[in-house]
Amino acid sequence: MPRKSTSKEKVDAYIARLSPPHKRLVESLRKIVVRVSPKLEEKYKWRMPCYFRKGLVCYISAGKRHVTFGFYRGARLKDPKGLLEGIGKELRHVKIRRKRDISSKVVLRLGQEGLWH
């Protein structure tokens, strides 16, 4: 019987299939999530890396023109710079187009705050 892939292996495979610019962005976001909150459980769900702790916390999804860094309870996050997008009841996201979008202190702060909710 073939061995079932682990979530880490599935996320690694997802990243490996991405184009180089998206690959770098997703890898950077993944490192931030793991560094900020090592207690989160990484899973490959809904065809993207998702991070859980007592429920879904955040996700990373590569699109055609950007990478989405989303927060399940993003509507509760403080966002004085207006980076978060979305109109749903809870979900909010930030579109990452360039490496410098990730290194923004505001995005890192959103990640830290979002990962502790």
Q: In this structure, is residue 63 part of a structural domain?
A: yes
Please, which pLDDT band fits residue 1 given cuts at 50, 70 and 90?
low
Residue 112 CA to chain centroid, in angstroms? Answer: 12
- 21-67: per-residue pLDDT in tens? 999 999 999 998 888 888 889 999 999 999 998 889 999 999 999 99
Q: In this structure, is residue 71 part of a structural domain?
A: yes
Q: Rounded to 5, what percent of the chain is helix, strand, coil?
A: 40, 25, 35
Strands of the sheet containing 41-45, edge to edge, are 41-45, 48-52, 56-62, 67-71, 92-96
Q: In this structure, is residue 78 part of a structural domain?
A: yes
Q: In this structure, is residue 1 part of a structural domain?
A: no
- The candidate with the shortest Cα–Cα distance to 41, out of 26, 31, 52, is 52
What is the tally of structural domains in the chain?
Answer: 1
pTM comes to: 0.88
- 69-82: per-residue pLDDT in tens? 999 988 988 888 88
Residue 47 CA to chain centroid, in angstroms? Answer: 13
Range of the domain at 67: 7-116
CATH number at residue 103: 3.90.1150.200
